[in-house]
Copies of this chain bind each other. A is one copy, B any other.
Amino acid sequence: MNYREFQKTMNSSGEAICKEVFLENQDAIRIKKEKTAVKNFKKIFDAVFQITYEKGFQAMSMRDLSSKTAMSMGALYGYFKSKEELLAIIQKQGRTMIQRVLETFFHESDDPVTRLRHLIKAHLFLSEAARPWFYFTFMEARNLSPAALESVISLEEYTEDILVTILEQGEAQGLFIQRDHRLTASIIKSMQQDWYLKRWKYTKRDISVDYYADYVLEVIERFCLSPEAIERRTSPEPGQAGIIAS
């Protein structure tokens, strides 16, 4: 699987998400016509991501948002009750989306090695397709209410749990060597996170997601795979060539 293929199967583009936001919060918002609501939610989210990327959510004033969206203050407040609620909506929607995709990919295969590859790639590709959501979810978590912050932490643990499960399963089958699997999972996550936190760096150097994903996989497999599992690998040479293949 590469990024292009991932994009085809996934429908993580804006419209679908905005529709979901509308349906989810239908009673809390004043706007009733789906078509206009979806259109404007998209406009609002895009603007929030743009402004927030530069100065953060707290520093974004509602007047900033008003002028970027070309909507009046009054109009904006038809879509959410308060600035705080706007934050919560975006955060919640981001998390739901991430969780859903990861679950899909977890159940797609049952060989631990393939599963690990698919999950690492799926997470990276998703963070590429929905970069603003990932960046926002991470950087603005501090502004959440304690309860909502709890959800963020539990998503972090959930995604690690999935990885740990795979690694344990693989160790039981003799495919992965004995390691501190929970810490390995954290390390994997740190590399995934770097992709969306430091995106400017990779853009500047013309590093593609596919290249990055294969590199991360090579690092992890070198560290985790047992000798027998290495035998099974399709790529003949474990050196630089292994990165191009897979």
**Which A residues have a C-beta under 8 Å from some C-beta of B?**
53-56, 58-59, 139, 142-143, 156, 177-180, 182-183, 186-187, 189-191, 193-194, 198, 201-202, 205, 207, 212, 215-216, 218-219, 222-223, 239-240, 243
Contact = CB atoms under 8 A, between A and B. Distances in A.
Given A55-B142, A177-B239, A194 B190 contact: yes
Contacts of A139: 139
Copies of this chain, whole number: 2
**Which 6 A-B pairs have CB atoms at the shortest separation, nearest pair first?**
A190-B194, A58-B58, A58-B59, A222-B223, A222-B222, A219-B223
B56 A142 contact: yes
Nearest to A156: B201
A191 to B, nearest CB: 5
A11 B218 CA distance: 38
A215 B182 CA distance: 12
Contacts of A55: 58, 142-143
A143 B56 contact: yes
Contacts of A143: 55-56, 59
A58, A177, A205 — most chain B CB neighbours (10 Å): A58
Contacts of A243: 180
Given A143-B56, A177-B239, A240-B178, A215 B190 contact: no
Secondary structure dominating the interface of A: helix
A187 B187 CA distance: 10
A246 to B, nearest CB: 15
A191 B187 contact: yes
Contacts of A186: 194, 198, 201-202
Contacts of A219: 187, 219, 223
Given A142-B56, A143-B59, A178-B239, A187 B201 contact: no
Nearest to A190: B194
A205 to B, nearest CB: 7
Nearest to A53: B142
